[in-house]
Structure 1
Amino acid sequence: MEIDNEGKDVEQTKYRGIIGYLLYLKASRPGISFAIGGTQSVGLWYPKGRSFDLIGYSDADFAGCRIDRKSTSGTCQFLGGRLVSWFNKKQNSIATSTAEAEYIAAGSCCAQILWMMQQLKDYGVIAREVRINCDNTSAIAITHNLV
């Protein structure tokens, strides 16, 4: 990848806002989604009468990057037993423990779940008691601490 030294500077906040808005439109309007990248032969099938549970999974490595010692978060979300969203990303801060790295990953998963719940609400589907699964008992204990 080359750096474009002759290009014009762009206000990052405005640019990110525009991209976020386009992603929202793509996710919330099936007609737009189809027009910009969907196909009729590919999709998710949700049989009638089956559960429509929303479940999240999160995980992290601790200090996985050897250069800056940052951890990497990974999350995935299932709707009705089907994978609908996932991501992995290097964390912004340096975690001081495995529990902290896992907690940050769980927080990212929670943010995605909250966004998905709002999207579902737009379609008239109310998601209650959404589970987020995490494999670190210390991170789970931190989430139960109300302080």
Structure 2
Amino acid sequence: METCEPADTSMVEKSKLNEDPQGKSVDPTRYRGMIGTLMYLTSSRPDLVFVVCMCARYQAKPTKKHLHAVKRIFRYLRGTINIGLWYSKDSCIALTAFADADHAGCQDTRKNIFTKALPRERLAFLIDKLGMKSMSPETLKKLADEKEE
């Protein structure tokens, strides 16, 4: 995945990820390892929570379709590797919640999931509203310089 082409979003908009009982099986141990790695990232990357949880549902019997969805997440990470939550030490912490509900959106159980895959523009807007910033060396230097002024 180191040389892969980055993806704009972590999941295709209006994706129809489901059980895929007729799909070709993949190694569940490898799939679970990938999901576990991504779950670790969700603490600092709230933009990944929905798609990682969606893919985690299929850990018991993953197929090529599910593996393809997980690989897209890694392609998205490739293009957004430096993005993460930013809490400056002098900022006032206030909890704000956003919801973009998708009632009955699960293809398998039709339960009240309360989220969905978003287009690139909407995802970028929400990432900005969450206070996520690039953690690249250039950005960190710029932020440090702004603090000194």
Same fold (TM over 0.5): no
TM-score range, shorter chain: under 0.3
Q: TM-score, normalised by structure 2?
A: 0.24
TM-score, length basis structure 1: 0.25
Which of structures 1 and 2 has the bigger CA Rg? 1
